[in-house]
Structure 1
């Protein structure tokens, strides 16, 4: 696990500025404190920060082929590298190391751009092929590992694991992209391939791109993989349960390869508990597990984590986190480089901090909700979809559209009376309704939030276009499969994977994700949706498969989530900070917001009239991003992160 960065001259073979490359590389010190290296040649500079996990002795990067015409920098793990190594040896290739990195180099030599088809793992890598005068960039299928890049007007291509390394070059403008901000205030993150900055992009999951010296125009990334929901498997439920356990064990076993201490997160939910149960059956020694306990019982799952830890006799460590643990706001803003509004980044940061005190590699249960159909919003969407299909659109739109406008927002009322969102959803088609349901600030709220001048900059752009684009490529009309596909392309990548990558790498911790193994994803996409959600039971087949391994108290309890008490914070200990940030000078100076609406959000929330905690957190984190990233010198941000890491 590492941080990669570099420069490539798309116009020729100009000399690389070593000081700039070193600055870019040092900005990601936290991703790889074990070793750092630079490689410079005319037209190319590679930087690498290493967290050594596999082949500690000889796995340094950049890594080259025999005549040094091919060079690689790589972040991630290739879980099938031993199998690939054997295959490539049979094809006549010799290996100087035992590293998965060299396997990618040999795969490039043999298969060229198709090398990505042979890789099973989480990865972002860049290959320079001097003979072809080309640079190849690729990102893993599920977007576990990040890769950012920017083509400067002078023809230099910059790239890095994190945006901070691209910004550290100094040549990229920090001008913000209004379209990215529309996405952020709708979703809480900026969706691939956009970034918050106009000149920078993210490489999308399952995509690669080839840059050549002298190309007349910027090349477009191409997809090399996508999930297809065929839902056509005839397997019986009993056989599916057996095969699911076998596939989970295979995925977990591949992720146990490490020369450093290994463990797992254990939240007490189904996903992490299943991963720990599988690990316990595969390992000869007790599993190292860690979890966070909250002093607020509404958010505390530690008793369920303890049930699993006791059952499998793990080396379990628990850390109590105060429910008023909000001192990380500025740290998170610097860490994520873009505005990022998932408040569970706070406990995620803390559990990674705890884990790193004892292990270097941790397995997680991330991806289980998207893969098996675990979110409550999935079940609500399916209920609404049955109504949408029963009534023609021409009737639904005016009827429920009017009800949605007239019905009050009653956050204080019992859940069954909070029908405004349901009415609004029923007036839309399936993709529109799902986008509406997951939006933090829905369309009418963003319409009031933004100033007239900012709306002119948007020129009619709506974040819904992200969902519309992916929805048209889903290849399925099955209601559950469609929204699972949308989450794979948006929420899982932009929110979950981003959160875990930055939080873990801030502490130089590698996190592995057995529930996002792409062969497992492909197999599950053949199972009918009725095996994923049955009645009101989400993750149906997963829970049934896990019954021999986990107690019913873990499998069939209400989902709690990894949340923090924002509503209470903003009416209590953070009351003044919220007012100062949201109604203060920094947001006002942008000219992008309607101050009267900002004041209404703050006043209505703090008076208890409405719960606007999620929109207020989104605004609070955006204000912190402006101060900590846009307004600060690169070295300031770097020093702040390193100081926090060393004092942790």
Structure 2
């Protein structure tokens, strides 16, 4: 448990369950208290203490789910947390429970009455979960595989959208989440983009994720995605400060009963005023853009600066916490890790961020090279499939290293169902359109145009162009040519192609020498966050060893819309009064 203490510094609990067949189930939990801070400790039981649950996550429809439980049982619940209803639900609905939960989660249930245990993970894999196999035949689960390395001979990532039911010492994975858009062989969608529905669905998603009893904030890079999230929250908070909370302001179909009230602790900086945080090297593009967005929205903004040297000094800790040696992930995780450490001192325990938008709208610069609508859509599907080993892994583990929970409204299931069924032709960067054009149009008026149409920057680029260059220079000095020549022999799987990659792999192997850990990162080339399939789209992709977004050159040279808004630096009164 100690190896996961950083994820749940507020409380820890452990339960030993003896089954009738002589087997034992042990459930342990490290709690980060966000909902029902005082009485939401885990593990959680049903009313008869036959079902025991430990879970990491947030269930946004918990009020609706409580309507499925009898009043007598509800009265006796010892916790009012969002997850407290799950043990009693499991008694009734068994393995149907994961598909009933609307939120993010990774959990394990012990059922002593039936001598079984049941593990499950949210559809996208936003909450991390790993399964380990010990030499004595026991099965282990943990939020990070560092907790399994000493007890298990093998461990792997628990597949998102699946549950694992162990019955009579036999277990199997079952997929419970299988919408049409998930299938790589499904027909290419042809639905027109409904900008109003995109706006309403994202607004609803953001407001759902404000559920909690602790101070919250937003990670504001100044890019499109985080700026839209911040704008939605700022608009909502302003309506609360005015004493109004009307459907026309936040979307007519939002269930207000499931949007928990904001913590009074936010009043320390003014009545319901948004806290925003950004990080970058001095004079970085992100810092400048985030500052401008924060000024426009009127948020209480905190700006952190870091140096290349501070980033390099953090590499070992970053790789240990995020548990990967993927180059792009480490580049982006390091400033996020440093930012989370600094946010911790402000007493904020939950933040919202913009992860996921690029995967569902085709926002990465390499999408400009997609040869046709089918290839574009298949790449979107592949990117969503892989989120749990890249972007959401980074967002979760970088922040949870300091006991901060990151929530990602762009990966809401209702929003995914809407956006992933839009004709990919409407998302493609054709006819002089900038990437994520329909998202920008859907939120026209929420932000000034020159912010709304800011060019895509990968987070590792946006924090400062010297950051990536500095990492490369450090690796070149740290790793000799002789050392690098040994890469194929030391690392036959996923052999590092650059000295930077070699450096990260050495640090990772020091932390996690097990072969199963080495195999946790997929093989294959990448460019600007692409999958290996998309590298085939352009000859220059195959020839470029630089994985950053800067490798995709010239994509905006023919985009008149982008060139027009680039020069807009003066906000009109109409812009400023959008709320």
TM normalised by structure 1 equals 0.67
How far is 1:100 from its partner?
1.5
Does the CA-based 8 Å contact 1:227-1:525 persist in structure 2? no
Alignment match of 1:519 (pick from 414, 417, 422): 414
- 1:152-301 equivalences under 5 Å are 152-167=134-149, 170-173=150-153, 199-215=154-170, 219-229=171-181, 240-283=194-237, 284=240, 285-295=272-282, 297=283, 299-301=284-286
Is the 1:72–1:128 contact (alpha carbons within 8 Å) kept by the matching residues of 2? yes
Map of 2:349 onto structure 1:
360
1:366/1:73 CA distance change after superposition, 3 Å = same
Q: After TM superposition, give the deviation of residue 505 of structure 1 in Å.
A: 0.7
Separation in 1, partners of 2:398, 2:471? 24
Q: Which of 57, 72, 79 is matched with 2:53 structurally?
A: 72
* Larger RCO: 1 or 2 (CA < 8 Å, sep 6+): 1
Q: Which residue of 2 aligns with 1:346?
A: 334
Structure 1 CA distance for aligned equivalents of residues 482 and 124 of structure 2:
35
TM superposition shift of 1:499:
1.0
In the TM superposition, residue 311 of structure 1 has moved relative to its aligned partner by: 1.5
Query: Equivalent residue for 2:287?
Result: 302
d(CA) in 1 for partners of 2:467, 2:499: 9
Alignment correspondent of 1:559: 456
Task: Please give the per-residue CA displacement for 1:224-282, whole angstroms capped at 9, x wherever unaligned.
Answer: 113433665655x5xx2222221111111111111110110110011100100111122
Report the counterpart of residue 506 of structure 2 in structure 1.
623
SS in 2 for 1:101: coil
Uncovered stretches (5+) of structure 2, i.e. residues with no partner: 19-23, 182-186, 241-271, 515-579
Change over 3 Å in CA distance of 1:318–1:570 after alignment to 2: closer
In 2, Cα distance between the equivalents of 1:487 and 1:591?
A: 26
- Any idea what SS the aligned residue of 2:128 has? coil
Query: How has the CA–CA distance of structure 1 residues 98 and 152 changed in structure 2, closer, same or farther, with 3 Å as cutoff?
Result: same
Q: 2:4 aligns with which of 15, 20, 28?
A: 28
Counterpart for residue 377 of structure 1: 366
Whole-angstrom CA distance in 2 between matches of 1:365 and 1:621: 26
SS at match of 1:318: strand
CA distance in 2, matches of 1:340, 1:534: 27
Preserved contact between residue 570 and residue 578 of structure 1 (Cα < 8 Å): no
* 1:108 alignment partner, SS class: helix
Distance 1:353 1:79 in 2: 27
Alignment of 1:314 with 2:215, yes or no, is: no
| Alpha-carbon distance change, 255 to 621 in structure 1, aligned in 2, over 3 angstroms | same
SS for the counterpart of 1:100 is: coil
Matched ranges for 1:385-404 at <5 A: 385-386=371-372
Map of 2:41 onto structure 1: 60
Structural RMSD (CA): 2.5
Which residue matches 2:86?
A: 104
Indicate conservation of the 8 Å contact 2:109/2:117, yes or no.
yes
SS in 2 for 1:499: helix
Describe the superposition over 1:294-324 as per-residue Cα deviations: whole angstroms up to 9, x where unpaired.
Answer: 22x5x53222112221111100000112244
C-alpha deviations, 1:196-238, integer Å up to 9, x for none? xxx11111111111012333xxx33111113433665655x5x
In the alignment, is the contact (CA less than 8 A) between 1:373 and 1:539 conserved in 2?
A: yes
- Secondary structure (helix, strand or coil) at the match of 1:621 reads helix
Partner of 1:134: 116
Q: Counterparts of 2:477 and 2:421 in 1: how far apart (Å)?
A: 52
Distance 1:570 1:549, change over 3 A: closer
Alignment partners' CA distance in 1, 2:318 and 2:358:
24
Residues 567 and 129 of structure 1, relative CA distance in 2, 3 Å threshold: closer
Alpha-carbon distance between aligned partners in 2 of 1:361 and 1:376, rounded to the nearest angstrom = 30
Paired residue for 1:47?
A: 28
Matched with 2:389 is 494
Contact map agreement 1:290 1:354 (CA 8 A) in 2: no
Q: For residue 93 of structure 1, report the CA deviation from its aligned partner.
A: 5.3
Kept in 2: contact 1:203–1:221 (CA 8 A): no
Residues 591 and 103 of structure 1: CA distance in aligned 2, closer, same or farther (over 3 Å): closer
Distance in 2 of aligned mates of 1:84 and 1:567:
47
Give the distance between the partners of 1:581 and 1:148, measured in 2 at CA.
Answer: 36
How far residue 336 of structure 1 moved from its aligned partner, in angstroms, is 2.9
**Which one has the bigger helix percentage?**
1
Instruction: Please state how far the C-alpha of 1:357 moved relative to its aligned partner.
Output: 2.4
Deviation (angstroms), 1:125? 0.4
Instruction: Decide whether the 8 Å contact of 2:130 with 2:155 is kept in 1.
Output: yes
Q: Distance in 2 between matches of 1:54 and 1:379?
A: 42
SS for the counterpart of 2:280 is: strand
Would you say 1:480 and 2:376 are equivalent positions? yes
Q: Displacement of 1:90 after TM fit?
A: 6.8
| 1:79, distance to aligned residue in structure 2 (A) | 1.1
How far residue 483 of structure 1 moved from its aligned partner, in angstroms, is 0.7
Per-residue displacement from partner, 1:8-39 (whole Å, max 9, x unpaired)?
Answer: xxxxxxxxxxxxxxxxx111000011111111
Aligned 8 A contact 1:265 1:362 in 2? yes
Distance 1:589 1:375 in 2: 34
TM-score by length of 2: 0.75
Q: Cα gap change, 1:221/1:294 in structure 2, threshold over 3 Å: closer, same or farther? A: same
CA 1:32–1:584: 2 relative to 1, 3 Å: farther
Offset at residue 626 of structure 1 (A) = 1.7
| Whole-Å separation in 2 of the counterparts to 1:581 and 1:127 | 51
- Distance change >3 Å, CA 85–CA 231, structure 1 → 2: farther
Q: Are residues 1:569 and 2:466 paired?
A: no
Task: State the alpha-carbon separation in 2 of the partners of residues 589 and 482 from structure 1.
Answer: 35
Q: Distance in 2 between matches of 1:105 and 1:77?
A: 15
Give the whole-Å Cα distance in 2 for the aligned partners of 1:522 and 1:65. 33
